[in-house]
């Protein structure tokens, strides 16, 4: 305790819908140390954004519903503090940037006013002071001619520039933690590089911890100290960045790494795929959520594996019963992949025949 800035423990957030409960976040635990850069990786619908929003208590209730767990920020449980205190923490202690900057900026206010707003509320600065600080912040996030641009409206900025403004707003009050939810997904590659560089530089300078949420393993590799891999509302693997990429231990992480074409590798004729699609969180499969798509799956996978340390490593956790580095297990997985491929061919041709007979 105490050494962690943020400690999320067994967080559960469900959405109530007509047909039941969507287990969007289902027992997520991770920690962030002061100044640490944590990457949270997963596909859409894996619960990574909902995790971030539920840390900030920004999920509307209903339909959202906290079903357990705690979020300790500097040893204070954010799920317990009153809304007024939470408002001070948001923007004051924890800054947040989103995927689409345009929806987060007020189109009728100049960017200077929007940056200054937080400063006036949280740091009790006067209008003049706030404006000066806003100009300084805009300069810091690389907006040329900041003194005049401070009076511009959001629509007068390009996408990349808006994201810079959002970063300035998020960092205005010197927060201890910056949550960046897919900050570059809406941007072009060349602009993405600019923004990532900026977040990295500014946060290192201020000593701000970062929680970077993304679906892009490449972004995580260059920016973070540690990575959390999420699947179907659960954490399946977490490790220091170098360790995770060099030595992935969960079949899902393995699959993700293998299924992305990479610039630095020789081109393969076929990409290794993860077959199927993520489960419906309304009725997730019992046990490990990845089991239906997993080549390594065994009967034991019908019970959910705990998130435990990998043997011989004090900082690498995985939620998987199988040791994927074991050659026997790999042979078993290969056998199942092949069997599946053959069975698929048969299934396709017979089901096509059956349907034809039914229809004709």
Partner 1 sequence: MDISERLNVPSTGEEIEPFLEVTPQLVQQRRSQGRIIFDRFIRNRAAIVGAIFLILLFLFCFVGPLVTTHNQPDQIHVTDVAQTLAGPSWQFPFGTDDTGRDMMARAMAGGQVSLLIALISMFMAVIVGVSIGAFAGFYGGIIDTLLMRFTDVILSVPLYLLLFVLSASFTDGSPKSVILLISFFGWQYAARLVRGEFLSLREREYVLAARTIGAKGFRIMFRHILPNAAGPIIVNATLLIGVNIILESVMSYFGFGIKPPNSSWGTLVSDGQGFFDVDPLLLMVPALLIFFTVLSVNLVGDGLRDALDPYMTER
Partner 2 sequence: MAETLVGSKTLLDIRDLKMYFPLTRGIVLQRVIGYVRAVDGISFTIEQGQTLGLVGESGSGKTTIGRTIVRLYKPTEGQIIFDNQDLAQMGGEHLREIRRRVQMVFQDPFASLNPRFTIGSLIAEPMHIYNIGSSSEIREKTSELLSVVGLRPEYINRYPHEFSGGQRQRIAVARALSINPEFIVLDEPVSALDVSVRAQVLNLLQRLQNQFNLTYLFVSHDLSVVRHVADRIAVMYLGRIVELADRDELYAAPKHPYTQALLSSIPIPDPQIEKRRHRIILSGDLPSSINIPSGCRFHTRCPMAQQICREVDPIFERKEGREHYAACHFSEEVRPV
Nearer of residues 136 and 271 to partner 1, judged by Cβ: 271
Residue window 204-233: x/- pattern of binding to partner 2, with contact defined by CB under 8 A: -----------xxxxxxxx-----------
308 near partner 1, judged by CB under 8 A: yes
The tokens describing 52, both together, are 């971030």
Q: Are 12 and 69 in contact (CB under 8 A)?
A: yes
Q: Which part of the chain contacts partner 2 (CB under 8 A), choosing from 2-10, 68-76, 175-183, 267-275?
A: 267-275
Q: Which part of the chain contacts partner 2 (CB under 8 A), choosing from 56-64, 127-135, 203-211, 259-267?
A: 259-267
354 near partner 1, judged by CB under 8 A: no
The tokens describing 277, both together, are 């699609």
85 near partner 1, judged by CB under 8 A: no
334 near partner 1, judged by CB under 8 A: no
Write down the least CB distance from residue 18 to partner 2, Å.
16
State the binding partner of 336 from partner 1, partner 2, none, CB within 5 to 8 A by kind: partner 1
Write down the least CB distance from residue 215 to partner 2, Å.
6
Dist. CA 156–CA 285, nearest whole Å: 48
Task: Supply φ then ψ for residue 344, to 5 degrees.
Answer: -60, -45
Write down the least CB distance from residue 352 to partner 1, Å.
11
Q: Are 226 and 38 in contact (CB under 8 A)?
A: yes
Write down the least CB distance from residue 241 to partner 2, Å.
5
**For residue 217, what are the contacts with CB-CB under 8 A and spacing of at least 6?**
41, 245, 256, 257, 260
Write down the least CB distance from residue 10 to partner 2, Å.
26
342 near partner 2, judged by CB under 8 A: no
310 near partner 1, judged by CB under 8 A: yes
The tokens describing 120, both together, are 């006036």
189 near partner 1, judged by CB under 8 A: no
292 near partner 1, judged by CB under 8 A: yes
**For residue 279, what are the contacts with CB-CB under 8 A and spacing of at least 6?**
232, 285, 289, 292
Dist. CA 148–CA 137, nearest whole Å: 13
Dist. CA 7–CA 3, nearest whole Å: 10
282 near partner 1, judged by CB under 8 A: yes
Please select the residue that binds partner 1; options are 85, 260, 343, 354, rule is CB under 8 A: 343
Burial of residue 289 (number of CB atoms within 10 Å: 0-12, 13-18, 19+): buried
Residue 250's nearest CA partner among 314, 301, 312, 318 is 318
CB atoms inside a 10 Å sphere around CB 8: 24
Please select the residue that binds partner 2; options are 92, 159, 287, 292, rule is CB under 8 A: 159
Q: Are 24 and 233 in contact (CB under 8 A)?
A: yes
Please select the residue that binds partner 1; options are 286, 306, 334, 355, rule is CB under 8 A: 306
Write down the least CB distance from residue 37 to partner 2, Å.
12
**For residue 247, what are the contacts with CB-CB under 8 A and spacing of at least 6?**
239, 316
* Cα separations in angstroms, 87 against 58, 68, 71, 83, 90: 10, 22, 16, 6, 5
Task: Supply φ then ψ for residue 62, to 5 degrees.
Answer: -70, 170
Interface ranges with partner 1 (CB under 8 A): 17-19, 63, 275-277, 279-280, 282-283, 292-293, 297-301, 305-306, 308-312, 321-323, 326, 328-329, 332, 336-337, 339-340, 343-344, 347-348, 351
Interface ranges with partner 2 (CB under 8 A): 43-44, 158-161, 188-194, 196-197, 215-222, 241-242, 245-246, 255-257, 259-264, 267, 269-275, 277-278, 344, 348-349, 351-352, 354-356, 359-360
């Amino acid at each position: 305790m105490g050494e962690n800035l943020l400690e999320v423990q067994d967080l559960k957030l469900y959405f109530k819908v007509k047909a039941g409960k969507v287990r969007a976040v289902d027992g997520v635990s991770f920690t962030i140390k002061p100044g640490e850069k944590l990457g949270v990786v997963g596909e859409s619908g894996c619960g990574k954004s909902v995790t971030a929003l539920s840390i900030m208590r920004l999920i509307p209730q209903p339909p959202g519903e906290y079903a357990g767990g705690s979020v300790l920020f500097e040893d204070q449980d954010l799920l317990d503090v009153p809304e007024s205190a939470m408002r001070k923490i948001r923007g004051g202690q924890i800054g947040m940037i989103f995927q689409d900057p345009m929806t987060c900026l007020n189109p009728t206010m100049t960017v200077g006013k929007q940056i200054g707003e937080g400063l006036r509320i949280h740091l009790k600065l006067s209008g003049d002071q706030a404006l000066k600080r806003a100009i300084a912040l805009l300069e810091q996030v690389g907006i040329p001619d900041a003194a005049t641009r401070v009076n511009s409206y959001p629509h007068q900025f390009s996408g990349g520039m808006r994201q810079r403004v959002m970063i300035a707003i998020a960092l205005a009050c010197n927060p201890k933690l910056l949550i960046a939810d897919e900050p570059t997904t809406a941007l072009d590659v060349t602009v993405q590089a600019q923004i990532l560089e900026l977040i990295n530089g500014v946060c290192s300078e201020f000593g701000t911890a970062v929680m970077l949420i993304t679906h892009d393993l490449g972004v995580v590799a260059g920016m973070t100290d540690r990575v959390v891999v999420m699947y179907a509302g659960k954490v399946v693997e977490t490790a220091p960045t170098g360790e995770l990429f060099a030595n992935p231990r969960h079949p899902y992480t393995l699959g993700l790494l293998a299924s992305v074409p990479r610039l630095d590798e020789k081109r393969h004729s076929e990409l290794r795929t993860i077959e199927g699609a993520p489960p419906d969180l309304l009725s997730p499969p019992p046990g490990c959520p990845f089991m239906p798509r997993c080549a390594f799956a065994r009967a034991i996978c019908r019970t959910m594996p705990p998130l435990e340390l990998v043997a011989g490593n004090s900082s690498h956790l995985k939620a998987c019963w199988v040791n994927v580095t074991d050659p026997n297990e790999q042979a078993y997985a290969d056998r199942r992949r092949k069997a599946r491929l053959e069975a698929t061919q048969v299934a396709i041709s017979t089901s096509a025949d059956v349907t034809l007979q039914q229809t004709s």
